Structure 1
Amino acid sequence: MGRPLSHEREVTGTGKRVLGRGTFTSNSGGSRNSSGGGSPFGILFVIIIAVIGVVTGKTDIINSLLGGLTGSTSVNTQSQQVNVQDLVSTFGSTAASSISGVSNAWSGVKDNRGKLDRTVNENAEEKFYKPASGDIVTVMVYMCGTDLESKYGMATNDLIEMTKAKPSDNVNVVVYAGGAREWKNSVISASANQIYQIKDGKLKKLADDKGQPSMTDPNTLVRFIEYCKQNFPADRNELILWDHGGGSVTGYGYDENNSNTGSMNLSKIKSAIAATNIKYDFIGFDACLMATTENALALSDYADYLIASEETEPGTGWYYTNWLTDLSNNTAIPTLDIGKRIVDDFIDESNKSARGQSTTLSVVDLAELKATMPSSISSFAKNTASYIENNEYNKVSYARTASREFAKSSNIDQVDLVNLIYNLEQDENNPTIRSVLGVVKYNRTSSNMANSYGLSIYFPYKKLSKVDRMVQTYGDIGMDSEYTRMIQQFASLQASGQIAGGGETTPANTLTGSSHGSNSGSLSVADIDSLISSLISGSISSESLANIGLDASSIGFLQNRNMSDDIIRNYVISNRFDASKLQWSDIDTTPKIHLSEDEWNMVSGIEEKMLLDYGSGYIDMGLDNFFEFDENRDMLADKERAWIAIDKQPVAYYHLSTTKNGDETITIGRVPVILNGEKANLIIIFDKEHPKGYLAGANTDYDAVQTETVAKNITEIVQGDRIQFICSHYGYDGTYLGEYKIDEEYVVGKNTPKVSYTIIQEDNEITYKFTDIYNNSYWTPVLKSK
């Protein structure tokens, strides 16, 4: 058991923490898927401090400092705008966003939220469903309850919402229920999968399936659809898949009773839908992360509309009562009106029940998508490939890292498609952007989301090991071949940059004074050329592959990139970050890092890590995106040594996202814990209403062995909850020692745990993680507290 960390006093303005000229990179909430003295630079730093005070929520620090310098505790919003412009003028808008991790709301492309678009593209085929009075409707709900039900009763809550809808003889709501070890109601059995009908405000059992077949097996979905087709023939069919989701790579579903069967990927979803020969009014995913370009393409032959979320969903999911009542009142109601009601109710109810969680939901016209998107995606892919082939990989890398990323801590590599294209092309009238905005007929998000336009897309960066799997899926669903080749090119160049860079994901070596895990400053051109050649040829060692997260079974993309070996070798040799330059100067006064303009151009992210000396090694306190620059563009070290605390207990904290939306800046971070005996993340949010931060809740942290889907829940922290704060720790020799428990288990009392920043009094060391354009990580030498 770890000892408690001291918390002698909360931060009240004993130092400065500023974003500065180059705050370089860095988006989860809970989910339905399934982290002294005044400024020597006078008014210049007052301006910069004003910005970071809003970004971080550290108003105690900032207001005290501002009061000391200016006689006022107010934050000047005009100064914030000036400083943002300084960032943009120095690095360019895309690089500044990437490096700082601060997303400017709806930058470049006009916000499309809350605007119902009834226009129809002239090239789109006619819809499958043609409304007529007196239509019979069958709503099929494929409800894999999983731990959302067994732990929290979320499926039962949604079933209750369905029973409260106005009944109609023309509307049949049929539910296939299974996948949960326990159901929080007295009707549904956990020993067998069953089919129910919502009838007269009650749940009526219709049939038992044979035992508990996996709900991520497409054959199970086919059997349910065939049952509905035979027993509830209809003029209008709607299908909803309810559970966790994992996006384009992972797909749908986690069956708690058949956890070894994995999820149902897009290929299997498409094959199941195709096998039943039914055309749907809409197919909806009451699951996380399924509003993807790939999913929409896969379903475009079988439904008029897709209703799904780009981001993770709160466990409460859709709200069913109102839209089912609307359908009962008029079975010929336009689908866009149903979709708008579903989206509005979901966002509004989530704002009430999952306060602070990032939420998205959109309605996508699949007929229009089928007519317009393939050619526009192909054009976008060709343009992007030309950048990669013509020595502008860094431009693509910056565009990717600056884009709105979903389920960021889960590294699923999904980004908003419009935001990605704009970051690359800087043209809001780009044909592909217009095409995407045209097919998204209705889109809404929570206020803490920006640059989320309704459709995401897979773009590799965090996990290159998934590229081959995605390429296989692309072949199965008919994704554009130009896009497939382009991501293989990008991944090939990135992998080559990683194999030559020699970065490290942990600060283990820098703790012992080693060379920050970097080969990039010492390898000769011949060495790098040899490394890249062996990677591309497949002759490289398994150990070297493992160092960049790959193995022999996941490097097929290197052979299908349609780009010469020489282009790759020459680019990496000419564009590499020399981590040997990460040396502190002026250590005894104001420690700083100096890099040339060319060297800064190789940096895509900076984060601060604090390590505490606990007597037998170091406790890892996470990663935050705070740092500062002086007027010479040198990065200055953190003198303040403050960190996140919960009820005055310093904890490991990881920054996830910062979004600037008008006059409000919203920052989200996570704290790893064991909550009531299970791994989870506490979600910390700073916003205009809570500038000092608040604990929004927790979401489940699944082990990859259980499921690759992302947790679809945000659990409220209530009295009696048991919280064990955890972190990583290292020996003095840099050896990773695994998980460390901070203090004794914490039991929540009557009051909600309070979030604060606390100055750390223990012996501590800080280091900065620099990320290059290939996603290599390098660490500065540590700076010890005095």
Structure 2
Amino acid sequence: MTMKRGNRRRFLLLFFATTGVLTYRILSRDFVQYDGNADCTVFDKIIQLSDNQKSDGFSSIISTYCHCDAPAVVVCDGDPYSTITENKINLVDQSVTRKTNTKDWTFLVYMAADNDLGRFATNNIKQMATVGSNAQINILIQLDISVSGGRKITRRYYVEKGHILHFNASDAQSQQMDSGSPKTLILFCIWAITEFPAEYYVLILWNHGTGILDLNKGRIINAIELFIFNTAINRFELNCNIGFFDFINVVNQKDEQRGICWDDSTGNYINNKVLDYALETIKNKLLGSNKFDIIELDACFMSMLEIANIIKKHAHIMVGSQEVELGTGWNYFLVLTSFDQQTLEPLDFGKHIVKAYQYTYHQITND
């Protein structure tokens, strides 16, 4: 490979739009937005495609995926991953952790599925197992989910093509973890990075996300609460019944809910400040103060400049959506299929993820 850690000094943000793909490049602290005009196809060597443009190789990939006999993950009694056998997907108890040789990539998926997104986790895992780990890439998952009877389980998987290896079956301490805790994220990365070293690391946070939006408060300041409508003159007037700073103090008494990785069993989540702490800890303790090559946010609303200002301290490239994502999330078959025969540089992989998302959803309506 030609790209080494010490040679990369920029932070790149790639993210999704409802009608096409907008591409942002962030240099140092200067945020530069390129025009999302559909007529433009290349910005500073970063490919941008409109909805009706074709991408080299993707047409055949889509055709293959739509017609292939993809393996299935079966929801079994109580535990959707206790027996996975249909269509050659087998769950193997891998009680003894095995080390591998250093590969090009380690793909870490922190799947916080202990919430209403849990039903989509099986399909995303199925997509990953369709490709599977190979000589170029390790595919690792930490799945936190609630199964029948409200029983909480946490599983660590190494995904091979047609096989899912269960790595924490004999580790009682990691069987029921809080995906809304930074400690859980850190422990997952300790296991994954230590046991499966690579030249490049990509971390995916899979869950709901709010970015800088606080769903508990709605708007931070609601204009209706600041003004009253004077029917005598048909105009809004400043509401002087409460002082402005008194009003702000009332608003700020509400608990903030801005972040990612909600865990419904514990009621916890990783807020933006805690996310910064967790990623800083992982970077310093595990990556030798080097950054992740890519951090991907398979969640809604996380591609905001304020979030990018956090992520840029811990990753060279960030991929995510600035708007709502569908519950089905990313198509991980398309995301990973490029590693089937070759490896990718981080920038190429980041662009590939954006194109894979576009090809998954660009024909979702006829409008």
Q: Which TM-score tier does this pair reach, normalised by the shorter chain? A: 0.5 to 0.7
Is residue 320–residue 342 contact of structure 1 (8 Å, CA) maintained in 2?
Answer: no
Q: Distance in 2 between matches of 1:343 and 1:302?
A: 20
Q: Match of 1:169, as an amino acid? A: A
Identify if the C-alpha distance between structure 1 residues 178 and 166 changes in structure 2 by more than 3 Å, giving closer, same or farther. Answer: closer
Give the structure 1 partner of residue 198 of structure 2: 234
Alpha-carbon distance, 1:147 to partner: 3.4
Is 2:339 the partner of 1:327?
yes
Give the structure 2 partner of residue 273 of structure 1: 279
Per-residue CA shift, 1:214-251, capped at 9, x if unaligned? 21111110000011121111111000000111112411
3-state SS of paired residue (2:178): coil
Give the structure 1 partner of residue 163 of structure 2: 202
More helix by share: 1
Q: Match of 1:202, as an amino acid? A: H
Is residue 152–residue 265 contact of structure 2 (8 Å, CA) maintained in 1?
Answer: no
Identify if the C-alpha distance between structure 1 residues 116 and 224 changes in structure 2 by more than 3 Å, giving closer, same or farther. Answer: farther
2:136 aligned to which of 158, 162, 170: 170
The correspondence of residues 704-783 of structure 1 with structure 2, limited to 5 A, is none
Identity of aligned residues (%): 26
1:245 aligned to which of 209, 213, 229: 209
Identify if the C-alpha distance between structure 1 residues 303 and 221 changes in structure 2 by more than 3 Å, giving closer, same or farther. Answer: same
1:290 aligned to which of 298, 302, 323: 302
Per-residue CA shift, 1:85-121, capped at 9, x if unaligned? xxxxxxxxxxxxxxxxxxxxxxx9552687453459x
Is residue 200–residue 293 contact of structure 2 (8 Å, CA) maintained in 1?
Answer: yes
Q: Distance in 2 between matches of 1:140 and 1:346?
A: 18
Is residue 132–residue 159 contact of structure 2 (8 Å, CA) maintained in 1?
Answer: no
Per-residue CA shift, 1:182-235, capped at 9, x if unaligned? 59xxxxx95321211102322110114434222111111000001112111111
Give the RMSD, CA atoms, in angstroms.
2.9
Give the structure 1 partner of residue 316 of structure 2: 304
Alpha-carbon distance, 1:323 to partner: 2.9
Identify if the C-alpha distance between structure 1 residues 110 and 347 changes in structure 2 by more than 3 Å, giving closer, same or farther. Answer: closer
2:106 aligned to which of 138, 141, 149: 138
1:147 aligned to which of 96, 107, 115: 115
Q: Match of 1:258, as an amino acid? A: T
3-state SS of paired residue (1:192): strand
Q: Distance in 1 between matches of 2:298 and 2:188?
A: 17
Per-residue CA shift, 1:374-404, capped at 9, x if unaligned? xxxxxxxxxxxxxxxxxxxxxxxxxxxxxxx
Q: Distance in 1 between matches of 2:157 and 2:132?
A: 17
Is residue 247–residue 290 contact of structure 1 (8 Å, CA) maintained in 2?
Answer: yes
Alpha-carbon distance, 1:135 to partner: 4.6
Q: Distance in 1 between matches of 2:154 and 2:187?
A: 12
Q: Which runs of 5+ in 2 are unaligned?
A: 1-17, 19-33, 47-101, 214-257
Is residue 108–residue 141 contact of structure 2 (8 Å, CA) maintained in 1?
Answer: yes
The correspondence of residues 226-625 of structure 1 with structure 2, limited to 5 A, is 226-249=190-213, 250-259=258-267, 261=268, 263-277=269-283, 278=287, 279-331=291-343, 333-352=344-363, 355-356=364-365
1:224 aligned to which of 188, 202, 209: 188
What TM-score comes out, normalization by structure 2 length? 0.56
Q: Distance in 1 between matches of 2:152 and 2:39?
A: 43
Alpha-carbon distance, 1:344 to partner: 1.9
Alpha-carbon distance, 1:143 to partner: 0.2
3-state SS of paired residue (2:198): coil
Give the structure 1 partner of residue 177 of structure 2: 213
Q: Match of 2:43, as an amino acid? A: D
Q: Match of 1:157, as an amino acid? A: N
Per-residue CA shift, 1:650-700, capped at 9, x if unaligned? xxxxxxxxxxxxxxxxxxxxxxxxxxxxxxxxxxxxxxx57xxxxxxxxxx
Is residue 144–residue 180 contact of structure 1 (8 Å, CA) maintained in 2?
Answer: no
Alpha-carbon distance, 1:154 to partner: 0.8
Is residue 316–residue 350 contact of structure 1 (8 Å, CA) maintained in 2?
Answer: no
Alpha-carbon distance, 1:335 to partner: 2.3
Q: Match of 1:164, as an amino acid? A: T
Give the structure 1 partner of residue 154 of structure 2: 193
Is residue 213–residue 220 contact of structure 1 (8 Å, CA) maintained in 2?
Answer: yes
Q: Match of 2:308, as an amino acid? A: A
Identify if the C-alpha distance between structure 1 residues 194 and 110 changes in structure 2 by more than 3 Å, giving closer, same or farther. Answer: closer
Q: Distance in 2 between matches of 1:325 and 1:190?
A: 34
Per-residue CA shift, 1:585-637, capped at 9, x if unaligned? xxxxxxxxxxxxxxxxxxxxxxxxxxxxxxxxxxxxxxxxxxxxxxxxxxxxx
Q: Distance in 2 between matches of 1:325 and 1:114?
A: 27
Identify if the C-alpha distance between structure 1 residues 173 and 113 changes in structure 2 by more than 3 Å, giving closer, same or farther. Answer: farther
Q: Distance in 2 between matches of 1:146 and 1:158?
A: 15
Q: Match of 2:108, as an amino acid? A: M
Per-residue CA shift, 1:326-361, capped at 9, x if unaligned? 134222x12232222222221222245xx34xxxxx
Q: Match of 2:350, as an amino acid? A: G
Q: Distance in 1 between matches of 2:39 and 2:132?
A: 29
Q: Which has the larger radius of gyration?
A: 1
Alpha-carbon distance, 1:166 to partner: 5.4
Alpha-carbon distance, 1:297 to partner: 1.1
Give the structure 1 partner of residue 74 of structure 2: none
Alpha-carbon distance, 1:301 to partner: 2.1
Is residue 133–residue 139 contact of structure 2 (8 Å, CA) maintained in 1?
Answer: no
Is residue 148–residue 155 contact of structure 1 (8 Å, CA) maintained in 2?
Answer: no
What TM-score comes out, normalization by structure 1 length? 0.27
3-state SS of paired residue (1:273): helix
Give the structure 2 partner of residue 371 of structure 1: none
Identify if the C-alpha distance between structure 1 residues 338 and 109 changes in structure 2 by more than 3 Å, giving closer, same or farther. Answer: closer
Identify if the C-alpha distance between structure 1 residues 334 and 299 changes in structure 2 by more than 3 Å, giving closer, same or farther. Answer: same
Q: Distance in 2 between matches of 1:282 and 1:147?
A: 25
Q: Distance in 2 between matches of 1:294 and 1:313?
A: 19
Q: Distance in 1 between matches of 2:148 and 2:360?
A: 26
